[in-house]
Amino acid sequence: MISKVTIQELMGMEQRVPLADVRTPAEFAQGHIPGAFNLPLFSNEERVQVGTTYKQESREAAILLGFDLTGPKWSGFIRTALEMAPGRKIAVHCWRGGMRSGAMAWALDLYGFQVYLLEKGYKRYRRWVLDQFERDWPLSVVGGMTGSGKTRILREFKVRGEQVIDLEMLAQHQGSTYGTLGRLVQPSQEQFENDLAAALYGLDRRRRIWVEDESLTIGKRTIPRNFWNEIRAAVLFDVQAPLEVRVQALVEEYGSLDKDFLVECTERIWKRLGPEQTKRAVTAIREGRMEDFIREVLVYYDKTYRTGLQGRDAEHIIKVPVAGGSAAINATLVLKAGDKQTSWI
């Protein structure tokens, strides 16, 4: 049996149904619904062939070519679907709910699956994603100079049942020029937006949602403008950690990274650091003097942070002095400040 469902109905199902994205591997890699698996009806090259035939000949010719190309694949499609959905309940979509998803739904229904066909396909889902960033979200922002432990505080919040959006985790980047840590691979911009919308979905908008203070861009990914504007307008809890605490935290996080990676990243920002400061930082890296390297680059990052604070409403900045690097203690201090701030409203 084939049932058409909206994206809201699909996401609202009590029991999660495996979701098959029948678009090409290239389309899937560009962006997909979080949790979906790729069951491509056509390869990247085959889709081009079918599309060309559709434009140059006719719809009927394209359909016949499509059957020629997929003929030997159907048993494989069904076997993969059985592996991913052993309960024989499966959802299917393509770009806009057209022939590709319709053909796959027909075959799976013929075999005995309960098939949920996503109306308007991935195109409608993308509209839903972008709509999430037009909504008002009750954000509270954790800020602080580099090394003040903002990310660790957010993780502690999550353990305590607070609502948290970890933008750096979603972007797979720590935010600075060293943010890939030499190993992280960022998702596409489209996938970053999809993952962010999925993280927002289901959060209680009557309760505060914690995010970290971020620039508009995290590495090569851009925070949706309206959502970023909300971050900038929200109350900022400025975690003020002593310099020595920050230096030690950053040495622990970055000190063991590949020296060539650190040098390359440092040289990338030489115009902002200045030639002499860059030279000193690179020399410190080469000689294994990680504390000295951190102190050199913090001059730039601290200045950048202070500049960012100047663009905020001073009445929306709450200073939270912390003495050490304990995420548990610092999270408690920020939460206490947050509770006081709530009582003022």
The residues carrying an active-site annotation are 94
**DSSP assignment letter at 223:** -
What is the SS3 assignment for 237? strand
Concatenate the DSSP letters of all residues of 196-212 into one string. Answer: HHHHHTT--TTS-EEEE
Its sign, for the CA torsion 300, 302, 303, 308, is positive
* Residue 169 Cα to chain centre, angstroms: 6
Paired with 19 in beta bridges are 91
> 285: buried, middle or exposed (CB in 10 Å: 19+, 13-18, 0-12)?
buried
Give the CA diameter of the chain.
Answer: 73
- How far apart CA 311 and CA 213 sit, in angstroms, is 13
Q: Nearest 5°: CA angle at 252, between 154 and 295?
A: 100
Torsion of the alpha carbons at 122, 126, 127 and 128, rounded to the nearest 10: 100
Tokens of 318: 């709450």
> 344: buried, middle or exposed (CB in 10 Å: 19+, 13-18, 0-12)?
exposed
